[in-house]
Structures are given as structure tokens and as C-alpha cells.
A and B are shown apart, each in its own frame.
Chain A
Amino acid sequence: MTTVATDFETIIGLEVHVHLTTASKMFCGCSADYAGAEPNTHVCPVCLGMPGTLPVINERAIEYIVMAGLALNCEIAEYSKFDRKNYPYPDLMKGYQISQYDLPICRNGWLDVEVNGERRRVRIQRVHMEEDTAKLIHRQDPVTGERYSLIDVNRSGVPLVEIVSYPDIRSPAEAREYLVKLRQILRYIGVSRANMEEGDFRCDANISLRPRGTDVLGPKVEVKNMNSFRAVFEALSFEERRQAEVLSSGGAVVQETRGWDDERKVTVPQRTKEEASDYRYFPEPDLPPLRLSREWVERIRQRLPELPDAKRERFRTFGLSEYEAGLLSEDRARADYFERLMAALEGEPSRRAKVAANWMLGEVARWLNEREAEMEAFPVPAERLAELAMLVERGTITGQVAKKVFDEMTATGEAASAIVERAGLAQISAADELRGLVRKVIEANPKAVADYRAGKEAAVKFLIGQVMRETRGRANPQLVHELLTEELQ
């Protein structure tokens, strides 16, 4: 056991910033899709902070944050307003950021996370709406050595939601799980791409240690610059060890901001913006407040899709294992495909669920893994895959042949039945047709036959394999087995 595990308890709170997938920015009509755009081409007088311009709230952004709040079990404020957060920094064109201070749109939510089979509830303090800042690029003159910065305003004003948890997280693994779950929910409800590598989903953490069994809070260290779930886990694990060492040797942890260095795998003290904490918030005079009627909020709630946990539980009722249901509900596109596939099959619901799950977690997963592709990229519609699955279910083709047909379908888009007919792949289930072949295989493999007669049951598998090869996988394996045993008597 490490010192951390025995002597100290780890206290972690997370702040997550998420871009919303609106078409336009939060307060102006410029496109919010800044990825790949030429610098300063999604810019207008409003997001440039020109004198005399006025911001206007993007209604869809408010819908999206309310969807997020509801999905995270938050209360949605009836009355909410925007505030100015003042700080002089070149990434803010106006000299302030429009954010929310004391009346956020959502508060008091929670998210259940499960680590090592133990489920724990992480409370969410608030979910508020703000705008993103401009992007800064730092350069150095190769001749003079002078350092300078360049500003691209495209990102400035993109709708940004901040999700603040209570310090309820007790380990780096739990922090990672919380983020995975949060991202999953945001993607499910379709309000964010939530891609951490692309900066749609950013996370800062507060971490402190306290002697186990006490409830005093030690000085918090804020950790920034973590650009992947792995980085969050590694940075918090490092910080946990570092603080434990400081405390164990009788030292005191300094309250500070540290940045994660992903190459050296350490956190290092960060210089912070001067006077950064003196934001002098005040109500944004350019934006009237929001009063969200309960009817409107209820309408949004009705539009929420089924969330991953609920979906997993429902899949379990089809007779699928926890593992299968978990994998199938992980991603909304995968879950939707599974349900369409299941619906297009024939037979008892539990059988259809099993068949659909086997295809999804077998051939479809293999196809996606080989290409490192997302479900959206899978080219065969569920109804077509169902046709293939039913050919196997009805015994028209063997499982072995089905894999070949599957590869053909994904490559050409041709229907399963057409491929089977064209290539003559239908299963041979006629005993007359197979008996001659079985005899031929027996004659050609005296060694295996001898082994079988000597009591080696495994030899029969080899002989079945030979028959399958002769028929290019089309023989009904059950029937081949019967015929072989008969002929070898």
C-alpha cells in the first residue's frame, strides 16, 4: 500500500469547459465552427468588441445548456442573468468575458460514477454559460529573439459551458471516470462534440490531501494543461504522490496553480495572471436576464434522448450481459444501430437481441477496429445487415460463409442475398450431396481416421474442417459431423 492509500484521503474537484455545437457564436452571427478556418475570418464588430455593438443571446445555446443541466440532474433556474468578468488580457477583445456569476442557469446536479464495481455520486455545483476567448499563438523573432504573441479572434465568442463539480471525487481513477461519463452524456444529447484533443472539452482540477479520518481541507492545488483523459489521470496521480510526500516529510503544501508537463510527466508551478482573482464581476448591462418558464423547460426535458445508464438497463432486460449491454450503450450511434438491427430481425426478442449483439460486438466491432472508425462510418444499413443475419438464422448460409459475405457487403454495398446467389454460397444441407465428399475426405486422410479410431475425438474436427474447405465453407457443419461419424463407424 502506498502512503496515499493508507495515511491520506484525496479530494478532487473538476472544472470542465465544453464547446456547444451551435452553428453561430454565443452573442453574434459569426460561424462557431472555427476549426480549420483561416485566422480572423469568423469575426464581426460584436466579437471584436467594437464600441457601440450589442450582444444578443443565441437561443439554441440556452436550449443546449438546459439539456445538459437536465441530463446532469440539475435544477434549472427560473431566473438567470449574465455578468461581466473583467480581466485585461489580450485574448479578450472587450477587456471582459461575458459569463455568469451568482445566478447560473443550472445548479445542484449529480453524476454517478463507477470504479472497480463501486458506484459513487459526484455532486455538480453549477453549470453556467459563457463565451470562449480568442486564441493566442506565441512566437519568437528568429533574428532579434524578441518574443511576441499573435491573436486569432475566430474562437472568441464561441458558446462555452462550464461544469463545476463539488470536491466529491476521491481518486484519479474516479476523476477519469467522471470525465468519460460526462463526455458520453454530452455526446448522447448531441450538444457538444466534446473532443478533448481538439479543445472542445477542457478540464482543470483542484486536488488536496487530508489525513484519513479528518474533515479538514488542506490547501488546494489547481492543475491545468491536461489535454487527454490519460493526462488527467497521470497528472492527478503525480500530484497525489507529490503532496503525500510533502506532508509525510512534515512539510506544507503550497496553494498554487501547477501545469502538467506531458513529456516529463510532472506538474510544475505555473506563473499566473497578475491580479487574476480580482475579476470585479458585475451584471452585464447589455443583456436582459433570462426567465425560463417551467413549460419551456419541460418541453426541453421531453426532447432529451434516453441516457446511457437507462439504455444499458433496458438492454439488460433483453437478456444481454452487463458487459454486452455496457458496450452496446457506450456510444449513441452504436446503440441506435443495435436497436435498428434488432428490430429488423425476426424471432423471439431475446434471440434477436443475442443475434444483434453478436454481430455488433463481433464482425461490426472488428470492421470498425481495423479502421479505427466510429460507428457513423459503418457503410451497411442495419436493415441490410439484418438480412445477412437472418440468412444465417434460417440456415441458408453457414456462419463461416456469413463472414465472407459481410466483408463483401461492407466493400461493395451489395445485398447479402445477391452475393450469396451470385457466388453460389448457399449452405449445402443435402446429405446426398455431402456424403460423397465425406467419403473422399476419409480416403484422403488415413492418419486422421486412424487417430479418430484410436479414440482421438479431436481428429473429427480436422476432418470436418477438410469438408468445409472443399465446399468453401458452405457445408452445414452439423450435418457433416453426423455423416462423418456415420461413415467412420
Chain B
Amino acid sequence: MELTADQVLHIAKLARIALTPEEVERFRNQLSSILEHFAVLSEVPTEDVEPTAYPLPLENVMRTDEVAPSLPREDVLANAPEQEDGMFRVRAVLE
């Protein structure tokens, strides 16, 4: 499974990572060999196997609808690099 440079750039963009041309080539090779490694799985016959969405034998884990105390606002904003009027301040995002 050979990835193209465009695919690597697309993945990098989704992850918000900037890559140099050298890095694109390096990760293209590394990611391709990882995919190749896992390609073995596609040889397993799975026609009669139910898809597994969740590996543990658990279902219907729920809580009753009760309000629990929230955090004090100082704690909420404690790690924020920038804040204003009790809110997190970030770079402009388009509407």
C-alpha cells in the first residue's frame, strides 16, 4: 500500500501539522509501511463475523439525569493562555 504525497499532506492538514517536503517523503514511506504491515488483516475471512464496534462485554451503561456541581470558573480557565470576560480567547474563527 503506497501512499501518495498528496494523501500525506491531506492527513497533515487534518491534524493541523505543517510538514517540510523532506518530512512528507519520510512520513509517506513510514505510513506506507505501517499500512502494509496491517494489510495482513485483510487476508482474514470475515464474511461470517459481525462487525465489532466495542470490544468489552458492556451495554447500556447510563447515569440518572442528575445535576452535579461544575468546576469553579478559575479552575476552568486556569490553563487558558488567554482569557477575556470569563471566556477562552482564541484567534478569530470564521463564522
Chain A interface residues toward B at CB < 8 A? 22-24, 28-31, 38-45, 48, 56-62, 81, 86, 88-91, 103, 136-139, 146-153, 270-271, 273-275, 278, 280, 283, 285, 287-292
Contacts and interface: CB of A to CB of B under 8 A. Distances in A.
A59 B63 contact: yes
Interface string B75-95: 011000000111111111111
A59 B90 CA distance: 34
18 contacts: A29-B66, A31-B67, A39-B85, A39-B87, A43-B73, A43-B76, A44-B71, A57-B61, A59-B63, A59-B65, A88-B14, A89-B93, A149-B93, A151-B89, A152-B86, A271-B94, A288-B56, A289-B53
Nearest to B87: A150
Contacts of A59: 62-65
* Interface majority SS (helix, strand, loop, mixed), chain A: loop
Contact of A150 (B84, B94, B95): B84
A62 B67 contact: no
Contacts of A40: 73, 76-77, 86-88
B44 interface: no
Contacts of A22: 65
Given A271-B94, A275-B13, A57 B71 contact: no
B73 A58 contact: no
B54 interface: yes
Contact of A62 (B58, B62, B69, B71): B62
A119 to B, nearest CB: 37
Interface of B: 10, 13-14, 16, 53-54, 56, 58-71, 73, 76-77, 84-95
A287 B61 CA distance: 8
Given A24-B65, A58-B65, A59-B62, A148 B76 contact: no
Which 5 residue pairs of A and B lie closest in terms of their CB atoms, listed nearest first?
Answer: A29-B68, A60-B65, A288-B58, A147-B92, A150-B87
A403 to B, nearest CB: 45
Contacts of B66: 23-24, 29
Contact of A39 (B56, B86, B90, B92): B86
Contacts of B85: 39, 150
Given A31-B70, A39-B87, A88-B14, A149 B92 contact: yes
**From B65, B85, B95, residue with most partner A Cβ within 10 Å:** B65
Contact of B14 (A29, A57, A146, A278): A278
Contacts of B76: 40, 43, 48, 153
B89 to A, nearest CB: 6
A151 B81 CA distance: 13
Nearest to A273: B94
B80 to A, nearest CB: 9
Contacts of A285: 54
A30 B7 CA distance: 40
Given A30-B70, A289-B54, A38 B65 contact: no
Given A40-B88, A150-B88, A292-B60, 9 more contacts: A30-B68, A31-B70, A38-B73, A38-B86, A40-B76, A41-B73, A56-B63, A86-B14, A278-B10
B74 to A, nearest CB: 10
